[in-house]
Amino acid sequence: MNSGWVNDSNAALLTDLYELTMLQSYFDAGMNGTAVFDLFVRRLPPTRDYLVACGLEHVLQYLETFSFSDEAIVYLKSLGKFSDSFLAGLSELRFTGDIYAVPEGTVVFANEPIVEVVASLRQGQIIETFLMNQIQIATMGASKAARVVTAARGRPVIDFGLRRMHGADAGMKQARAFYIAGVSATSNVLAGSAFGIPVAGTMAHSYVQTFENEIEAFRHFIRSYPDSVVLVDTYDTLQGVQHIIALSRELGPEFRVSGVRLDSGDLLDLSRKSRELLDGAGLQDVKIFASSSLDEFAIDDLLNAGAPLDGFGVGTHMGTSSDAPFLDTAYKLAEYDGKPKMKLSQHKSTLPCRKQVFRETRDGRFVQDVIAVATERLEGEPLLLKMMENGRRTSMPENIETCRDRCMRQVQSLSSEIPYPVTVSPELTRLASAFRK
């Protein structure tokens, strides 16, 4: 039994079988002209007004190391679906195309290309599944997290989602996407180590239960971590807060507990009563953090009601983007061998040609995006940048803090107009309608 971990040396095989059967058929037909593919989101989920593009860095890493291992070729041969001459070519296939993309942390909308691939038909096609998988998880994650961060109104949001995220890779890629979207820290230690993200966390209920009683548990934890945030709801939340107060008296000037965490019950009521108890004991500096099934809606409600909360641990709902657990991503052929291409299926039609998106800003606010043909020069900032040329990066990987700053600045620059106006340039409209005729 294989462990089933994905890595740079087997990622080329993390693809849909039809990518390979199509490649075999193109090979048989001797077709390998230059293709343009767009990766975009067709429609935003009902509960999203914007998306935060994310995931490009790992796509570029994949493209740089793309190659079928000997083991992969042996497996493909065993399927009996591919010719030896085709497999010989496949074993030498590398990605040598160009990549245009919006930088990570950029706010994007429906139909705007997040990544545009210009490559030989074979190269552009085989990478489809991986690009969609990775751009979706990161963009979906960053888009959800940006909303949670906005709802928290400057209070720190900590990612607690690893245990409920969909597998190990979601745990890694989303922790990174969340940080780019403005989340303050993650509980995921490996993500902290891999991406240089701050890590945070204190104790679980099981810790408290291990001891004879709650105050004994708190006493021990504080001995190891004096300025910790303490989980107070294992047995009874307000009793837990009383235990903190008792410890403050016991420890006197040594007492340095920084906060309490409420993880169940009526968080509005419990946060108010906890604040009262703490303030009444002179513990104004002890903060109150909340967790327990939070999302942007719950946080907004709590803060609107005046809940005296200083920060949030957000797990399941952010970690699974539970109100919108997928994006309607598409990866579509826009041009082949110099000819514009379009799909006309009902409700799923696409736009032809290589593109550019121009974003107009007024008084520091985004006012309009125009999706245009790449060769057009319109007003506003072009969002798609050349990230890879002939299979090589055009620049060093971006620092994660740069992406994070971009995202937080852009979310603040969002127009209050909903839906945000995105139009198609007259030139692109003309080309698309010429195609329909």
Binding-site member from 132, 148, 314, 384 for a second copy (CB under 8 A): 132
Please enumerate in sequence order all residues whose Cβ is within 8 A of that of 218, keeping only pairs 6 or more positions apart, or say none. 208, 230, 243, 244, 247
Residue 164 touches a second copy, criterion: CB under 8 A:
yes
Question: Shortest distance, CB of residue 254 to a second copy, whole angstroms?
Answer: 16
Report, in Å, the least distance between residue 198 CB and a second copy. Answer: 10
Minimum distance, C-beta of residue 365 to a second copy, in the bound complex (Å): 32
Across the strands, what pairs with 159?
186, 314
- CB-based contact 106:393 (threshold 8 Å): no
Least distance (Å) between residue 106 CB and a second copy:
18
Q: Which of 162, 260, 309, 383 binds a second copy (CB under 8 A)?
A: 162
The residues in 313-332 that bind a second copy, with binding defined as CB under 8 A, are: 316, 319-322, 325-327, 329, 331-332
Kindly state whether residue 297 participates in binding a second copy, applying the rule CB under 8 A.
no
Least Å distance, CB 358 to a second copy, is: 26
The smaller minimum CB distance to a second copy, of residues 239 and 423, is found at 239
| Two tokens, residue 60 | 């570029």
CA distances to 152, 259, 280 from 275, rounded to whole Å, are: 18, 11, 8
3-class SS of residue 339? strand
Q: Per CB under 8 A, does 345 bind a second copy?
A: yes
Binding residue (CB under 8 A) for a second copy from 142, 342, 374, 384: 342
Q: In which residue are the tokens 């309607």 written?
A: 328
Query: Which residues ranging from 21 to 60 are in contact with a second copy (CB under 8 A)?
Result: 21-22, 24-26, 28-29, 31, 35, 37, 57-58
Segment 62 to 91, residues that bind a second copy, using CB under 8 A: 71-72, 75-76, 79, 81
249, with CB counted inside 10 A (0-12, 13-18, 19+), is exposed
Interface region with a second copy, contact rule CB under 8 A, candidates 90-98, 243-251, 342-350, 365-373? 342-350
Q: Is the peptide bond prior to 419 cis by the omega test (within 30 degrees of 0)?
A: yes
Q: How far apart are CA 30 and CA 376, in angstroms?
A: 33
Instruction: Tell which positions 347-366 bind a second copy, by CB under 8 A.
Output: 347-348
- Euclidean distance between the first and the last CA atom of the chain, given in angstroms as a whole number: 54
List the interface residues with a second copy, window 366-405 (CB under 8 A).
Answer: 397
Which segment (100-108, 162-170, 370-378, 386-394) binds a second copy by CB under 8 A? 162-170
Least distance CB 368 / a second copy (angstroms): 30
If one asks whether residue 437 binds a second copy (CB under 8 A), the answer comes out as: no
Which residues from 222-251 bind a second copy, rule CB under 8 A? 223-225, 228, 233-236
Region 256-295 residues binding a second copy, contact defined as CB under 8 A: 263-265
Here the contacts of 17-23 (C-beta below 8 Å, separation 24 or greater) are: 19/125, 19/126, 19/128, 19/129, 20/76, 20/81, 20/82, 20/90, 20/126, 21/81, 22/125, 23/86, 23/90, 23/122, 23/125, 23/126
Instruction: Read off the tokens for 240.
Output: 């837990």
- Taking the least distance from each CB to a second copy, the nearer of 375 and 399 is 399
The residue range among 102-110, 124-132, 243-251, 281-289 that interacts with a second copy, by the rule CB under 8 A, is 124-132
User: How many amino acids of this chain bind a second copy (CB under 8 A)?
Assistant: 118
Q: How far is the CB of 110 from a second copy (least distance, A)?
A: 16
Nearer to a second copy, 75 or 282 (CB): 75
According to CB under 8 A, which one of 95, 109, 221, 420 is a site residue for a second copy? Answer: 221
* Residue from 34, 129, 368, 429 in contact with a second copy (CB under 8 A): 129
C-alpha to C-alpha distance for 296 and 404, rounded to whole angstroms: 19
Q: Which of the ranges 156-164, 243-251, 362-370, 416-424 carries the binding residues for a second copy, by CB under 8 A? A: 156-164
How far apart are CB 342 and a second copy at their closest, in Å?
A: 7
Q: By CB under 8 A, is residue 418 in contact with a second copy? A: no
Long-range contacts of 146-149 (CB under 8 A, 24+ apart): 146/50, 146/52, 146/181, 146/182, 146/407, 146/411, 147/48, 147/296, 148/183, 148/294, 148/295, 148/296, 148/299, 148/312, 148/314, 148/318, 149/181, 149/182, 149/183, 149/408, 149/411
Q: Which position among 93, 168, 245, 367 is part of the footprint of a second copy (CB under 8 A)?
A: 168
**Structural contact between residues 214 and 221, judged by C-beta atoms closer than 8 angstroms:** no
Both tokens of 90, joined, read 């496949």
Q: Is 25 exposed, middle or buried (0-12, 13-18, 19+ CB in 10 A)?
A: exposed
